[in-house]
Structure 1
Amino acid sequence: MTREIAVDPKSLTRLKSLGWMREEQARRLAANSTGLKVRREDAIFMEGEASSRVYILLSGVAKLCYVNRDQRVLVGFVGPGEIFGLSSLLGQSTRPFRCEAYSDCTVAVVKPDIFVDTVLGVPLERLSLVLDVTVGRWWGMVVRYANFVGLGLRERLAGALLELAEKFGVRDSRGTLLTLKLTHAELAELVGASRQRTTEQLNDFEREGVITREGRRLIIVPEKLWQLAQTPHRN
């Protein structure tokens, strides 16, 4: 059961992460935050929810999980003073992780634009642009590797090719051309498999019509690859 409470400015300045704030900053942040008392094992937020809030853990311990089909991957624990739910600062529309109370927790919840303006004194749009080209890529890696746990090579390789197409792809009449020339060994390292098994899977993809080879370049059909990435198929 979750219930709302008022946020005391002193509960914010007592945290190591926010103890440097001026008194007026703490008052403004507290006034614009919603406090939540969350009981152990209850959800603080769910995967797939809109990334529209920043969370500050005032007390207790929370845990972040990636729910991968029928498997839960424990990504890590959140301690008092930590600020989480940061996908809302990266311009992402939905949350990739689920957050649950590992013990009884008290959480302050605030809109991202108010949090950034109050704490940093800059517009959210400007910060999001900077984060996107700095920590955004590392965030993407965390999500990708969490998603890889428990998947077969077929799904891992499909997901990796889709990510490469988004970053290094140009539209082509046959699909999306990867401008990055990768060897089979490099693709194998990316998905954590042997070069031989990766080559065999690429051959399967080519026979199924989801990729075409042009020398060392690959042309993928994103729609078909997306279906493969979402369909469980154990190797």
Structure 2
Amino acid sequence: MPLSNNDNTANDALHSLFEQNLEEWKKKYPSIHAVEVPGKQFLYRQGDQCTDFFWIRDGIVKLSHLALQGNELTLALLKRGDIIGRLQNDTASDTMDESAQALGKVMCYRIGYDDFRQLISSRPDLSWLVFETIYTRQRNIEHKLRMILTQPVEQRIVTTLLELAQLFGARCTHGFSLEIFLTQQELADLVGANRSVVSTIMNDFRSRGMLDYTREQICINDAAFTGE
């Protein structure tokens, strides 16, 4: 699995740094303002022109890419402390390559490109944490693409569910209860597979006691998945 507690260290540190300095930074950089995004609404869509950055304070944001063939691939699920936006301000090609959609209500702060550039230029500790979090996200996306190309669907689902348990799970009697609920279509988009195939595999996992799920929740028996 590509994710580890170490991967979350920079993310948590970045969140703490923003929390500690937010009021001061808002006074110095006037473009910083709070945005509340309702569930299923978009921070931006693929193809939009957007040069701002977003710092996620609460909630979960889905990054996805819609291919020319019409199928959607979920690139990443981002949580508290993550920053998204374009580091390169190229007005000739500043359309977004992916969509950023709120899963449930999201509270974030929007920061203009020029203000964000000045901010990270004045704070080497902040710029390094931003670099680390973006590098980690890129590494995980590359891992996902390799997994889609080389692993069968069942293994991709197992790996993805265990990663989600690490990122968004709370301990329950089954093992982990996900703090987010993904429909089978959303899970299929996340693993790059057909929804009907994912549905069959999920039903098989449930019959084998590896997980349980309702319309509201997914509970993962991590011991059964990992063979512990």
TM-score when normalising by structure 2: 0.44
**Larger relative contact order (C-alpha < 8 A, sep ≥ 6)?**
2
Q: Looking at CA atoms only, which structure, 1 or 2, has the larger radius of gyration?
A: 1
When you count helix as a share of all residues, which structure comes out higher?
2
